[in-house]
């Protein structure tokens, strides 16, 4: 076994050392046909042995399965990713061509996520869970999202919404957010497996590391004065401006982590920021906007793997079920994506997890827990 290279020959070589160049794009891992084959075989094997990825016998030994079954290069990349918070680390990896997706077997995209057929998604759930296991991190579910809804969520644009979406060419801002910015125990790692992306919607990413050194604008974001409104689709929204506050940047003062949701914290009518907080956020947004990266267009079988404390992801407008080719609008299958979220420690989140299920996070808003009974 070769213990030296972590990324093999594919690790990017910084042209200037001493961290003078801030990373502006995710690292892309080209998955080899051999690795893809191994993963496919492993997915089939695990389905036979455990039936579902939430099987307690499987999930409690997830890290063991990951280290035993994943191709070694992929395990090493993910293991390194889990501990790398350096100035060079963008906070997102793209695994290009990780999974072979049988489009015929998948069938047409369901009208909405409520109608997703998870029996067709089990193999992909096993493969995604292994990636988290290699970090190592544990897949979890959140009551705040779909009241749980399992460890794997199908992300599907609602068919009824497609006609109300703005046109693909509209100048809608690329709103980026870290997942569940309104929770103290938000996911540590996220994976997005693209089953199909025929509309060719770019993946939108933004990393706090892209700014380079902390400047006075960023320094102000360490103050715990910022409202983090819950998702707009909650009906029991607090009166704007009356909720708990948090800092946007946290952790290390020089190489910080980030909690941020542009849509909810700046542009929503519920944002409720104080004038000082809003000024700081707007100044930050002006610096952040040009650093948003939407160069990569995921294809079927690609996985975007994100450190949710370093890198935010996007909400870009697109018309589901169509794309433009040579100036013409062409119909296509609507996008379908699978999201998995994970925490590196179940012990640290125990105060907010379900009494009988330590993988189920019951936090409602910045430390407050849902009253479910
Ligand atoms: Fe998200």
How many Å lie between the centroid of ligand 1 and the Cα of residue 190?
9
pLDDT at res. 262: 95
306: in domain: yes
- What string of H, E and C letters represents the secondary structure of 162-222? HHHCCCCCCCCCCEEECCCCCCCCCCCEEEEEEEECCCCCCCCEEEHHHHCCCCHHHHHHH
How many Å lie between the centroid of ligand 1 and the Cα of residue 181?
9
Cα–Cα–Cα angle for 227, 228, 232, nearest 5°?
120
How many Å lie between the centroid of ligand 1 and the Cα of residue 53?
22
pLDDT at res. 230: 87
Asked if the model's pLDDT at residue 304 lies above 80, the reply is yes
350 is in which domain, residue-wise? 21-369
Alpha helices in 70-178 (DSSP H): 72-81, 103-106, 122-134
What would the pLDDT profile of 229-276 be if each residue is shown by its tens digit?
987 555 455 678 889 999 999 999 999 999 999 999 999 998 999 999
> Which carries the bigger pLDDT value, residue 157 or residue 81?
81
How many Å lie between the centroid of ligand 1 and the Cα of residue 314?
7
How many Å lie between the centroid of ligand 1 and the Cα of residue 13?
30
Which CATH number does the domain housing residue 238 bear? 3.60.130.10
How many Å lie between the centroid of ligand 1 and the Cα of residue 204?
11
Asked if the model's pLDDT at residue 7 lies above 70, the reply is no
How many Å lie between the centroid of ligand 1 and the Cα of residue 31?
25
279: in domain: yes
d(CA 314, CA 304): 12
How many Å lie between the centroid of ligand 1 and the Cα of residue 331?
26
How many Å lie between the centroid of ligand 1 and the Cα of residue 121?
20
* Residue 136 structure tokens: 């190592």
12: in domain: no
100: in domain: yes
* Residue 208 structure tokens: 């706090």
Nearest Cα to Cα of residue 336 among 151, 45, 120, 91: 120
253: in domain: yes
16: in domain: no
Question: What total number of domains does the chain contain?
Answer: 1
4: in domain: no
Instruction: Give mean pLDDT, residues 300-310.
Output: 98
261: in domain: yes
What 3-state class would DSSP assign to 369? strand
């Amino acid at each position: 076994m070769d213990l030296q290279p972590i990324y093999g020959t594919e690790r990017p070589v910084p042209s200037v050392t001493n961290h003078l160049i801030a990373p502006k794009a995710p690292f892309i891992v080209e998955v080899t046909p051999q690795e893809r084959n191994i993963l496919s075989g492993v997915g089939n094997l695990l389905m036979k042995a455990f039936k579902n990825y939430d099987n307690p016998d499987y999930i409690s030994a997830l890290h063991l399965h990951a280290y035993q079954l994943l191709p070694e290069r992929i395990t090493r990349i993910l293991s390194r990713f889990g501990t790398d918070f350096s100035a060079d680390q963008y906070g997102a990896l793209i695994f290009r061509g990780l999974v072979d997706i049988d489009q015929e077997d998948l069938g047409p995209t369901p009208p909405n996520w409520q109608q997703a057929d998870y029996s067709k998604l089990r193999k992909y759930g096993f493969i995604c869970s292994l990636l988290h296991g290699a970090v190592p991190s544990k897949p979890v579910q959140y009551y705040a999202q779909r009241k749980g809804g399992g460890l794997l969520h199908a992300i599907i644009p609602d068919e009824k919404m497609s006609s109300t979406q703005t046109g693909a060419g509209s100048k809608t801002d690329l709103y980026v957010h870290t997942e569940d910015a309104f929770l103290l125990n938000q996911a540590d790692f996220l994976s997005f497996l693209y089953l199909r992306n025929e509309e060719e919607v770019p993946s939108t990413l933004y990393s706090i590391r892209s700014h380079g050194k902390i400047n006075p604008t960023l320094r102000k974001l360490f103050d715990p004065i910022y409202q983090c409104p819950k998702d707009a689709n909650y009906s029991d929204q607090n009166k704007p401006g009356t909720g708990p506050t948090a800092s946007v940047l946290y952790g290390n003062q020089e190489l910080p982590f980030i909690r941020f949701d542009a849509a909810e914290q700046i542009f929503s009518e519920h944002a409720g920021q104080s004038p000082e907080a809003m000024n700081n956020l707007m100044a930050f947004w002006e610096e952040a906007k040009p650093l948003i990266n939407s160069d990569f267009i995921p294809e079927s079988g690609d996985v975007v793997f994100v450190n949710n404390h370093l890198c935010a992801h996007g909400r870009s407008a697109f018309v589901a079920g169509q794309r433009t080719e040579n100036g013409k609008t062409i119909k296509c299958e609507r996008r379908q994506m699978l999201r998995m979220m994970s925490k590196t420690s179940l012990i640290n989140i125990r105060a907010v997890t379900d009494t009988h299920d330590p993988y189920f996070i019951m936090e409602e808003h910045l430390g407050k827990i849902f009253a479910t009974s």
